[in-house]
Amino acid sequence: MNLVRLERLVKRYGDLMALDHMELDIRAGEILGLLGPNGAGKTTLIHALTGLIAVDSGTIELFGHAMRPGKLEPKRHFGLVTQELTLFYDLTARENLAFFGGIYGLKGKALQKRVERTLQLVGLEERADQFPGKFSGGMQRRLNIAAALVHEPRLLIMDEPTVGIDPQSRSYILDTVRELNRQGTTVLYTTHYMEEVQALASRIVIMDDGHAIANGTVDELIARIQLEEKLQMEVSEPTEQLIEQLQAIGGVKQVKQEGRRLLVSIRPGADVLEPLLAAARTYGGGVRYVNADKPTLEDIFLTLTGKQLRDGDGGEAE
């Protein structure tokens, strides 16, 4: 079932097409990773999807309702974690959450229960009565996420929630997203960090120049763009005969020698490990070390867009 369906969305800023016939589905239960370089249109997409801006054309369907600015009903069912923190610094953590819960019409015991549950989920129950100005950057981000969660949305939309925070808070946030998803929340997760999407997302959409250029799991994307796999092998005696034998194995594209190390490029999906090891045993005096490098999302991204993902985001987490 699709919670979100975007069809042929167009958003222009003057001559610039920030969204250029963008298509996107979000399926119930998934963590969808949305990746794109600076200026690809990710934030514009999120703003359009959540009714914060009007689009020029195309359709937006959220939980079966058509979405447009000013429409309230679909807004009850999602939580939005924006890039900028949306917190009140003269309210405590608990009061912040009570405020955001109140906006959604929660009150009394029900509100109190949700606030406590959400504080616990993001690990801030000990800090509940403190003001966010006293928090580390990572803790402020966690409170910001909690503010989007207190009404228990079906869909959580996160726009680069881990930019510029410490590794510990980052890992806490990733764990929280996984836990929420396990409990049934669908997640749209936008990030510059490849490894986050690779670790979290059940499906990935890559966006560039205002539209989707690829869509699938990491394995599907690798298979689709036919990236070669690489294997490093260290042998006791790297003879010429060994290299000839390795090159003759079906599926092996190229063998390069660096001292005792052999770098073997393999056609995608070719099952060559056993014959490689057998040749190395027979003609190379035995194998000392083997390491296989699968193509990463980074490789996929570079191949598809010709761009590095992190050009100038200025907010490395480490």
Ligand X SMILES: Nc1ncnc2c1ncn2[C@@H]1O[C@H](COP(=O)(O)OP(=O)(O)OP(=O)(O)O)[C@@H](O)[C@H]1O
Least separation in angstroms between residue 36's CB and ligand X is 5
Beta bridge partners of 252: 266
Among the listed ranges 36-44, 65-73, 181-189, 256-264, the one in contact with ligand X (CB under 6 A) is 36-44
C-alpha span between 184 and 62 (Å, rounded):
17
Q: Which of 9, 44, 48, 146 binds ligand X (CB under 6 A)?
A: 44
Q: How many residues bind ligand X (CB under 6 A)?
A: 11
DSSP classification of residue 257? E
H/E element holding 120?
A: helix 108-121
Least separation in angstroms between residue 313's CB and ligand X is 6
Residue 71 identity: K
Q: Is 1 in the site for ligand X (CB under 6 A)?
A: no
Least separation in angstroms between residue 26's CB and ligand X is 17
Q: Is 211 in the site for ligand X (CB under 6 A)?
A: no
Q: Is 127 in the site for ligand X (CB under 6 A)?
A: no
Among the listed ranges 32-40, 103-111, 127-135, 280-288, the one in contact with ligand X (CB under 6 A) is 32-40
Q: Which residue shows structure tokens 């989007």? A: 148
Instruction: Give the chain's end-to-end CA distance (angstroms, integer).
Output: 38
Q: Is 43 in the site for ligand X (CB under 6 A)?
A: yes
- Compare residues 127 and 192 and give the one whose CB is closer to ligand X: 192
Least separation in angstroms between residue 144's CB and ligand X is 16
Query: Which of 128, 42, 37, 27 shows the shortest CA–CA distance to 83?
Result: 42
Contacts of 181 (CB under 8 A, 6+ apart): 29, 31, 187
Least separation in angstroms between residue 34's CB and ligand X is 9
C-alpha span between 77 and 152 (Å, rounded):
8
Least separation in angstroms between residue 17's CB and ligand X is 8
C-alpha span between 134 and 222 (Å, rounded):
45
Among the listed ranges 42-50, 163-171, 226-234, 256-264, the one in contact with ligand X (CB under 6 A) is 42-50
- Compare residues 40 and 205 and give the one whose CB is closer to ligand X: 40
Among the listed ranges 31-39, 177-185, 232-240, 244-252, the one in contact with ligand X (CB under 6 A) is 31-39
Report yes or no: 69 and 53 within 8 Å, Cβ to Cβ: yes
Q: Is 13 in the site for ligand X (CB under 6 A)?
A: yes
Q: Which of 41, 74, 138, 161 binds ligand X (CB under 6 A)?
A: 41
Q: Is 312 in the site for ligand X (CB under 6 A)?
A: no
Least separation in angstroms between residue 23's CB and ligand X is 16
Among the listed ranges 38-46, 61-69, 106-114, 240-248, the one in contact with ligand X (CB under 6 A) is 38-46
Q: Is 42 in the site for ligand X (CB under 6 A)?
A: yes
C-alpha span between 257 and 161 (Å, rounded):
43
The tokens for 103 are 């906006």
Q: Which residue shows structure tokens 């606030």? A: 115
Query: Which of 41, 38, 42, 50 shows the shortest CA–CA distance to 17?
Result: 41
Query: Which of 236, 239, 220, 228 shows the shortest CA–CA distance to 272?
Result: 228
Q: Using CB under 6 A, list all residues that contact ligand X.
A: 13, 16, 18, 36, 38-44
